[in-house]
């Protein structure tokens, strides 16, 4: 009887030892699995970009990104670079590809600085300018009435009134020998406008052909007759020839 009890007791101890060993083994496996999961999570967080960026179709470009914001065009370049280089690239390879992609300019690039304005596009001083004189008919003859049409540019910001007229000079002479009437005041609106002179002008018969110059003046209240300038600051002069 004692022998039987001894055998059962030994078996019981062995069974208890096996149970304890199994429990310890199971606990060790659980700890290993937990540690492996934590390591995988940390490694994933430390990667520069998710693997999904290796495919443009699976990448979510609109998802909020912590830290530095990368615009969609830049993400397109990165995704194409990773996909073309190595779709199965590891974290270090992707990191190198990202750095190289960030050095590549986005198509279109940053806005270019505006070019310096040309002389014709610069802001003009506030004034009224003469930019053209047109004759009607275009090639008048001597003893034929001609109408002068003047193009004004008003950059003052408000309408201006002038009693303007045309002085006719023989080329090379400082004193005029003919003019149109200055009896009527003309309102010159803001911007560009063409206005006809008050009346026509006719040249009497002279040498076969005469070279003349037409300039636009205005009658000032103080009695002076200043000349209108062009936008370059010089008087506008129309040179033409009248023949018999």
- CATH 2.60.40.10 residue ranges of the chain are 124-243
**For residue 241, how many other CB atoms are within 10 A of its CB?**
11
Q: What is the pLDDT of residue 61?
A: 45
Residue listed under structure tokens 């986005």: 106
Determine phi and psi for 49, rounding to 5 degrees.
-140, 150
**C-alpha to C-alpha distance for 130 and 218, rounded to whole angstroms:** 12
Cα gap 171→211, rounded to integer Å:
6
Question: What is d(CA 55, CA 118) in angstroms, rounded to the nearest whole number?
Answer: 48
Q: How far apart are CA 211 and CA 223, in angstroms?
A: 29
Please check whether residue 103 is in contact with residue 202, taking contact to mean a CB–CB distance below 8 angstroms. no
- For the chain, which residues score pLDDT lower than 70? 1-2, 4, 30, 35-92, 94-95, 97-122
Is the torsion defined by CA of 172, 178, 183, 189 positive or negative? negative
The label of the residue with tokens 């969609």 reads 72
- Give the bridge partners for 193, in sequence order: 152
- The pLDDT assigned to 191 comes to 95
Q: What is the pLDDT of residue 162?
A: 97
pLDDT of residue 156: 94
pLDDT, one tens digit per residue, over 160-181 is 999 999 999 999 899 998 999 9
Task: For strands 237-243 and 209-218, give the pairing.
Answer: antiparallel
Pairwise CA distance, residues 135 & 241, whole Å: 12
And the tokens for 107? 């198509």
How far apart, in whole angstroms, are the C-alpha atoms of residue 122 and residue 141?
Answer: 39
CATH topology of domain 124-243: Immunoglobulin-like (2.60.40)
Specify the pLDDT at position 87: 63
pTM for the predicted model, two decimal places: 0.51
């Amino acid at each position: 009887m004692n022998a039987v009890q001894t055998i059962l007791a030994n078996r019981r101890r062995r069974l208890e030892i096996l149970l304890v060993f199994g429990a310890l083994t199971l606990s060790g496996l659980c700890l290993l699995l937990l540690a492996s999961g934590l390591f995988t999570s940390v490694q994933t967080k430390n990667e520069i970009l998710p693997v999904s960026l290796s495919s443009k179709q699976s990448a979510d470009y609109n998802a909020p990104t912590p830290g530095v914001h990368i615009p969609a065009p830049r993400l397109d370049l990165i995704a194409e670079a990773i996909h073309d280089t190595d779709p199965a690239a590891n974290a270090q390879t992707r990191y190198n590809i990202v750095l190289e992609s960030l050095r590549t300019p986005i198509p279109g690039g940053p806005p270019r600085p505006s070019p310096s304005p040309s002389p014709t596009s610069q802001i003009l001083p506030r004034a009224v300018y003469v930019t053209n004189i047109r004759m009607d008919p275009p090639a008048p003859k001597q003893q034929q009435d001609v109408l002068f049409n003047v193009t004004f540019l008003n950059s003052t910001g408000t309408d201006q009134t002038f009693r303007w007229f045309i002085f006719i000079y023989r080329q090379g002479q400082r004193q005029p020998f003919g003019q149109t009437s200055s009896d009527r005041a003309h309102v010159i609106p803001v911007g560009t406008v063409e206005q006809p002179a008050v009346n026509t002008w006719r040249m009497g018969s002279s040498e076969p052909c005469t070279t003349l110059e037409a300039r636009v003046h205005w009658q000032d209240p103080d009695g002076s007759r200043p000349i209108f300038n062009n936008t370059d600051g010089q008087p506008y002069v129309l040179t033409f020839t009248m023949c018999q």
